[in-house]
Amino acid sequence: METGRFEAWEYIDPGSVRDYVDQGINLLVFNYRGVNESTWAPVFGSQVLGELIGRYTTIERDGIVLDCMSVIQYVVKGLGVKEDKVLLLGHSIGGAFSLQASVKHHPREHAAEFLGVSPTSWIGKFLKWLGGTLVHVTGWELNSVEVWHKTNGFKWIEFCKKDHIIPVKTSLYEAAGGVESNRVLELESLRGDNHNRALTIMELREHLALVETALSLPGTSKQG
């Protein structure tokens, strides 16, 4: 499982790892590398131009995807797990990086959770345009919807309509066609944080059932 930004899933829900193990599933939780602010040399005397060129040519995004792929290699080659017994899960932005790693790791199969950010007000629409321009210029563009439709295999989306970090209108669930086009596990809307919270008992049962189904299917690998 690749976690989200500033997350330590094993601390959010310490019992979750045991829940997987109790079902006969080994769980490896990992995070991506830290992304620190860096300063590049000026170009033609312009610090701003130097920053833009530096961020475009030094793409941390690709490094994070490689980190995810290295974990897959460690599990398969280092731990000796067969590829058809590997399932890649992702939460929040970890789902976006998992998607990118999945499409690079053949065969193209995956499932992801919680993607997309942006309010829907006129200010939000402007910021979305501005943000899209900036992530493209700086090399942080992650087209998860395109990757989702390009891949095959057992995949599902887990989302909550009351997720305050990723509104449903900007989620992968909405962009990919909702429940009509996808296998979906809708999480209950609870009070408080619906983005980083632990799964309820019923949600966990459904989640583990999906994981077990994915791992029991014939094939070369499953990622999620």
Dist CA 102 CA 98 (whole Å): 6
Question: Is residue 55 a part of any domain in this protein?
Answer: yes
Residue with tokens 């989640």: 207
Q: Which domain holds residue 86?
A: 9-216
The DSSP 8-state label assigned to residue 180 in this structure reads H
The number of angstroms, rounded, from the C-alpha of 29 to the middle of its chain's C-alpha atoms is 13
Q: Please tell me the predicted confidence (pLDDT) of residue 106.
A: 54
Q: Please tell me the predicted confidence (pLDDT) of residue 65.
A: 79
CATH for 185: 3.40.50.1820
Q: Please tell me the predicted confidence (pLDDT) of residue 4.
A: 58
End-to-end CA distance of the chain: 9
Question: Is residue 148 a part of any domain in this protein?
Answer: yes
Of 173, 183, 172, 169, which is closest to residue 211 (Cα–Cα)?
183
Q: Please tell me the predicted confidence (pLDDT) of residue 122.
A: 58
Judging by beta carbons within 10 Å of its beta carbon (0-12, 13-18, 19+), is residue 158 exposed, middle or buried?
A: buried
Q: Please tell me the predicted confidence (pLDDT) of residue 214.
A: 82
Question: Is residue 136 a part of any domain in this protein?
Answer: yes
Question: Is residue 1 a part of any domain in this protein?
Answer: no
From first to last of its 224 residues, the chain has per-residue pLDDT tens of 656 565 666 666 777 778 888 888 888 877 776 655 556 677 788 888 877 776 665 566 777 778 888 888 888 888 888 877 887 777 777 777 777 777 766 543 433 333 344 445 656 566 666 665 555 444 455 667 777 777 777 888 888 888 887 887 878 878 787 766 778 888 888 888 888 787 888 888 888 888 888 887 654 344 44
Question: Is residue 3 a part of any domain in this protein?
Answer: no
Question: Is residue 221 a part of any domain in this protein?
Answer: no
Residue with tokens 């959770």: 113
CA dihedral sign of residues 14, 189, 94, 135: negative
User: How many structural domains does the chain have?
Assistant: 1
